[in-house]
């Protein structure tokens, strides 16, 4: 089992791991010939986060080999990984590489960062060894991306700094284990509602963009229903509703804030799926997909 690569876009990798470390402490890192996936599963099974990075977007000289079809599955501590990547965030950073190794009997992802010292401009090398656990293929065999129906509503979320400020207040109001209701339609309207014993609040955004479902690559849905792409005016005005845990929604918003472009799918009474495009161009090279299941009212 071998994995070795140099990192050409460490800030992108750092952004992705930073966002994922908001979601959970441990993630499953899947490496194969074509892409890198990081999967974070919530303990309560209410949400899953799938992050997908194309190799060319981040790595150079990517070499992988393993007995199971050049696939390596690792369990990684996300905050440690993120912290170690921060070592590269200096002005004097010159290059970085990563490889799978074993030290003191603990498998580690070894990150080598070369920088220049500020005074003398001489190279200095920082090595960060992140402990990982190697997972057998059968251990991760059950991990499959959630399947969602074609969403009734697809909407680009409002300005994220604004959304975050408002969300934080909602979370405080509804308290722990509170519910937040999201409603949206294809006329560019999104509502956020909190309804607790003590307080009832509602915010509404209008004029949001409604991207066509699937206009971006990598978006997947269960198309068995063969819905028509052309919705009637009536259908467009219909609101689809999801109810999510307030803490979870706060996390979603924080992850969104790290992205360049964010599309939310509201699958009526079923699930909230948030696509976060992390790349500077908002392209598909690095995405985080946040699946949250909706509570039934």
Between 127 and 199, CB nearer to other proteins: 127
- Binding segment toward other proteins, per CB under 8 A, in 114-122, 228-236, 239-247, 289-297: 114-122
Q: Does residue number 135 form part of the binding site for other proteins (CB under 8 A)? A: no
Distance separating alpha carbons of residues 286 and 198, to the nearest angstrom: 41
Q: What letter does residue 184 receive in the DSSP assignment?
A: E
* Alpha carbons within 13 A on the beta-carbon side of 7: 22
CA 119 to chain centre: 38
Region of 177 (left: φ > 0; alpha: ψ -120 to 50; beta: rest) is: left
Q: What distances in angstroms separate CA 234 from CA 150, 231, 238, 290, one per listed residue?
A: 18, 8, 7, 29
Distance separating alpha carbons of residues 109 and 240, to the nearest angstrom: 43
Question: From the list 21, 73, 80, 285, which residue makes contact with other proteins (rule: CB under 8 A)?
Answer: 80
Between 57 and 74, CB nearer to other proteins: 74
Question: From the list 45, 122, 296, 297, which residue makes contact with other proteins (rule: CB under 8 A)?
Answer: 122
Question: From the list 15, 52, 108, 261, which residue makes contact with other proteins (rule: CB under 8 A)?
Answer: 108
Question: From the list 106, 147, 199, 237, which residue makes contact with other proteins (rule: CB under 8 A)?
Answer: 106
Q: What distances in angstroms separate CA 71 from CA 4, 31, 33, one per listed residue?
A: 13, 6, 7
Between 130 and 155, CB nearer to other proteins: 130
- Binding segment toward other proteins, per CB under 8 A, in 73-81, 154-162, 229-237, 262-270: 73-81
Find the farthest-apart pair of alpha carbons in the chain and give their distance in angstroms, rounded.
68
Q: Does residue number 13 form part of the binding site for other proteins (CB under 8 A)? A: no
Q: Does residue number 137 form part of the binding site for other proteins (CB under 8 A)? A: no
Question: From the list 67, 91, 125, 136, which residue makes contact with other proteins (rule: CB under 8 A)?
Answer: 125
Q: Does residue number 209 form part of the binding site for other proteins (CB under 8 A)? A: no
Number of residues that bind other proteins (CB under 8 A): 27
Neighbour tally for 297: CB within 10 Å: 8
Q: Does residue number 130 form part of the binding site for other proteins (CB under 8 A)? A: yes
Strand partners, 290: 49, 274
Between 89 and 144, CB nearer to other proteins: 89
* Alpha carbons within 13 A on the beta-carbon side of 22: 20
Distance separating alpha carbons of residues 245 and 177, to the nearest angstrom: 6
Question: Which of 83, 227, 72 minimizes the C-alpha distance to 149?
Answer: 227
Distance separating alpha carbons of residues 255 and 276, to the nearest angstrom: 8
Q: Does residue number 216 form part of the binding site for other proteins (CB under 8 A)? A: no
Q: Does residue number 26 form part of the binding site for other proteins (CB under 8 A)? A: yes
Question: From the list 60, 124, 199, 209, which residue makes contact with other proteins (rule: CB under 8 A)?
Answer: 124
| Residues belonging to the chain | 297
Q: Does residue number 123 form part of the binding site for other proteins (CB under 8 A)? A: yes
- Binding segment toward other proteins, per CB under 8 A, in 16-24, 82-90, 145-153, 255-263: 82-90
Residues that bind other proteins (CB under 8 A): 26, 75-77, 80, 83-84, 87, 103, 106, 108, 117-120, 122-133
């Amino acid at each position: 089992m071998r994995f070795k690569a140099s990192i050409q876009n460490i800030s992108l990798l750092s952004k992705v791991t930073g966002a994922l470390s908001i979601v959970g402490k441990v993630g499953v890192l899947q490496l194969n010939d074509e892409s890198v996936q990081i999967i974070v599963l919530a303990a309560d099974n209410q949400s899953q986060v799938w992050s997908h990075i194309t190799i060319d977007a981040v790595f150079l000289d990517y070499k992988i080999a393993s007995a199971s079809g050049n696939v390596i599955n690792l369990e990684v501590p996300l905050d440690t990984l993120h912290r170690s990547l921060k070592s590269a965030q200096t002005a004097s950073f010159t290059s970085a590489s990563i490889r799978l190794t074993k030290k003191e009997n603990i498998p580690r992802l070894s990150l080598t960062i070369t920088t220049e010292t500020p005074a003398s401009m001489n190279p200095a090398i920082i090595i960060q060894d992140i402990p990982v656990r190697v997972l057998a293929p059968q251990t991760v065999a059950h991990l499959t991306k959630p399947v969602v129906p074609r969403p009734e509503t697809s909407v680009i979320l409002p300005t994220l700094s604004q959304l975050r400020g408002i969300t934080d207040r909602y979370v405080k109001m509804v308290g722990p284990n509170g519910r937040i209701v999201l409603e949206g339609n294809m006329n560019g309207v999104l509502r956020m509602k909190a309804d607790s014993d003590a307080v009832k609040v509602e915010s509404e955004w209008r004029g949001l963009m409604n991207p066509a479902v699937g206009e971006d690559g990598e978006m997947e849905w269960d198309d068995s229903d063969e819905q028509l792409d052309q919705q009637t005016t009536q259908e467009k005005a219909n609101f689809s509703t999801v109810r999510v845990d307030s803490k979870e929604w706060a996390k979603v918003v924080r992850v969104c804030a790290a992205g360049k472009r964010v599309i939310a799918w509201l699958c009526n009474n079923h699930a909230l799926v948030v696509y976060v495009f992390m790349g500077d161009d908002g392209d598909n090279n690095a995405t985080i997909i946040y699946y949250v299941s909706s509570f039934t009212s």
